[in-house]
A and B are shown apart, each in its own frame.
Chain A
Amino acid sequence: MSCTILVFVKQVPDTKNVTGDAMKPDGTINRQALPAIFNPEDLNALELALQLKDRYGAKVIVATMGLPAAAGILRDSLFRGADETVLLTDRALGGSDTLATSFALSRMAKKIGNFDLVLCGRQAIDGDTAQVGPQIAEKLGIPQISYVQEVQELGDGKIRAKRAIEGGYEVLEAPLPALLTVVDANQPRPQNASRIIKYKKAKTPSEVAAAKGAPASEEELAALSAKGLLIQEWNAAYCVPQDEFNRLGKAGSPTNVKHILSVVLTAGNFQEVAPTQEAVGNLVHELIEDHTLG
């Protein structure tokens, strides 16, 4: 059986490595200093797609919505084994919350069409909401299986997957097309050396234009496409009907950010206890005295 797997990925600031330069003197974050990375669980989703490709001969399309620079993680996906890539980038998408984001991504999916599976990482490390996957599924009117650890069977218009639940696991079976959110339960394969050599030349039309300082011609893009080196670049109008534009970006987002407070790492006001038997003994005694220790 051959099928088409659509993987949604996101480029995120590396919030897990907020150290050194990333901290401003006042203890707040300097976001610009954070490297942009491939969202970790999206790499798990891509890996699962590539495993299914190895097992069943699927076509893997990786899609993202973001700034033009997000083409970087699409190239990375090609290095690891993706077949096609699509970038949706448009100012109209700025300020999207999870509802507006899932709406835009669902329209991307519809435009791509004929997919059997949609895979997403469980959540992105910048927002940690885990909402976009289930919301895309709802917008597409397809079932979801969240927190997938492995796919046991794919075929006959069905998928059977093992997924985590609180205190255990479940094996669920859903008809295709279905959406899966994937957790950190596999080891993403590294970039493949020969694919790097081939796909490092993969570019979006904007990148081609930037490199030569003039818009890319139809012929150039067709030539790139024929070699599999074109990263498709869509604007919102390409996949979203005009009368649905009010569902994009800030206009399509029910949530407003009222206030942002940076978490300031205060200098330690702790009482220092020497690592000696006497000092530790006194501390333990103090905690027994005030009934912290019983």
Chain B
Amino acid sequence: MANRTSAAQRPNGSTQGKICQFKLVLLGESAVGKSSLVLRFVKGQFHEYQESTIGAAFLTQTVCLDDTTVKFEIWDTAGQERYHSLAPMYYRGAQAAIVVYDITNQDTFARAKTWVKELQRQASPNIVIALAGNKQDLANKRMVEYEEAQAHAEENGLLFMETSAKTAMNVNDIFLAIAKKLPKNEQTTGPGGSGQGRRLVEGDSGAKAAGNCCK
């Protein structure tokens, strides 16, 4: 599954440069707009795929940066967070995470901070984490101040943006910022990170590394 996208399908038609694939997970309280951000990102600007989370493990989206093509494998929580039962395997080996809260709901921001802590403890050490204050279109009902979230992001070395999946504000930008920050050399992940294990693929008879740069 990992290398299904052929070079010819890429938006700029380029066949040059390297392709890097990364696992990205979304975390955050129910109803903060995690799936919406992904669907906006995957369906909004880059129209080569039309995919959905239903019955799918994840969505994929490709971003082109100069000479590098970054392919995100974006995992959805599949609703397991609803009753606080997200399986730890969900964020194992993730190279990037977007922790989402709703700017109109202070509780969701507190929960986001907890997720950041959990990722810093449990995920791979080089994980790139972005904090997204979603529902920016509802800024008149704001309960979480921009400065407060920004300060938290700075303290913890997170990327930070306020986003709106509804108006598409900063949606592509936050994924692009992550793509830029991700290390794109051959051996990007340390022990405990993804890209070291073997994914099992039909008809596969040899090694198939997942997650790290493949070309």
Q: Is the pairing of A and B real?
A: no
* Residue ranges of B at the interface with A (Cβ–Cβ < 8 Å): none
